[in-house]
Chain A
Amino acid sequence: MKPFFAFMKKEYLEAVRTGRFLILVLLFVLFGVMNPAIAKLTPWMMEIFSDSLGESGLIVTTVQVDAMTSWTQFFKNSPIVLIVFVLIFSDSFTREYKSGTLLLALTKGLSRYKVVLAKSMLLLSLWTLDYALYFAVTYGYNAYFWDNGIANHIFLAAAMWWLFGVWVISLIVLFSSLLQNNTGVTLCTGGISLLTYLLSFLPKAKVYSPALLMNANSLLSGAEEAEAYMKAIAAAAVLAVIFIAVSVLNMNKRQV
Chain B
Amino acid sequence: MEILAIQNLKKSFGSKKVLCGLDLSVPEHSIFGFIGRNGAGKTTAMKAILGLLKTDGGQIYVCGEKVRFGQTRTNRHIGYLPDVPEFYSYMTALEYLHFCGEISGMDKADLAVRSNELLELVGLGQERHRIRGFSRGMKQRLGIAQALLNRPKLLICDEPTSALDPVGRKEILDILLAAKEQTTIFFSTHILSDVERICTEAAFLDNGRIAMQGTIAELRGMRPSDGFIIETEQEEDAGILIKAFCDLKAGEQHTLAFHGSEERFFGIMQYVAENRIPIQRIERIEPTLESLFLEVTK
**What is the interface of chain A, defined by CB distance below 8 A to chain B?**
2-3, 5-7, 9-10, 13-14, 17-18, 99-101, 103-112, 252-253, 255-256
Contact = CB atoms under 8 A, between A and B. Distances in A.
Given A3-B103, A3-B105, A255-B53, A108 B150 contact: yes
Most buried by A among B50, B84, B91, B104: B104
B145 to A, nearest CB: 12
B78 interface: yes
A3 to B, nearest CB: 4
B179 interface: no
Contacts of B84: 100
10 contacts: A3-B104, A17-B90, A99-B86, A104-B86, A104-B100, A108-B104, A108-B150, A109-B72, A112-B70, A255-B52
A252 B150 contact: no
Given A13-B90, A17-B90, A18-B90, A104 B72 contact: no
A153 to B, nearest CB: 42
Interface string B45-80: 001001011100000000000000011110110101
The DSSP consensus for interface residues of chain A is helix
B198 to A, nearest CB: 23
Contacts of A6: 99, 102-103
A99 B89 CA distance: 11
A106 B72 contact: yes
Contacts of A252: 70-71
Interface residues of B toward A: which range?
20 to 34
Contacts of B82: 100, 103-104
A7 B101 CA distance: 11
Contacts of B90: 13-14, 17-18
B146 interface: yes
B103 A101 contact: no
B104 to A, nearest CB: 4
B214 interface: no
Contacts of B53: 255
Task: Give the residue among A3, A14, A17, A109 with the most B Cβ atoms within 10 A.
Answer: A109
Contact of A107 (B70, B75, B86, B105): B75
B52 A256 contact: yes
In the A-B complex, list the 9 residue pairs whose CB atoms are closest, starting with the nearest.
A6-B102, A17-B90, A107-B80, A3-B103, A99-B86, A108-B104, A100-B86, A110-B103, A109-B75
A252 B72 CA distance: 10
Contact of B91 (A7, A13, A100): A13
B45 to A, nearest CB: 14
B52 A106 contact: yes
Contacts of A17: 90
Given A13-B91, A109-B103, A255-B54, 10 more contacts: A3-B104, A6-B103, A99-B86, A100-B82, A106-B52, A107-B80, A108-B104, A109-B72, A109-B73, A256-B47
A253 B68 CA distance: 11
Contacts of B47: 256
B87 interface: yes
A10 B52 contact: no
Contacts of B78: 107
Contacts of B146: 104
Nearest to A16: B90
Contacts of B71: 111, 252
B72 A253 contact: no
Contacts of A14: 88, 90
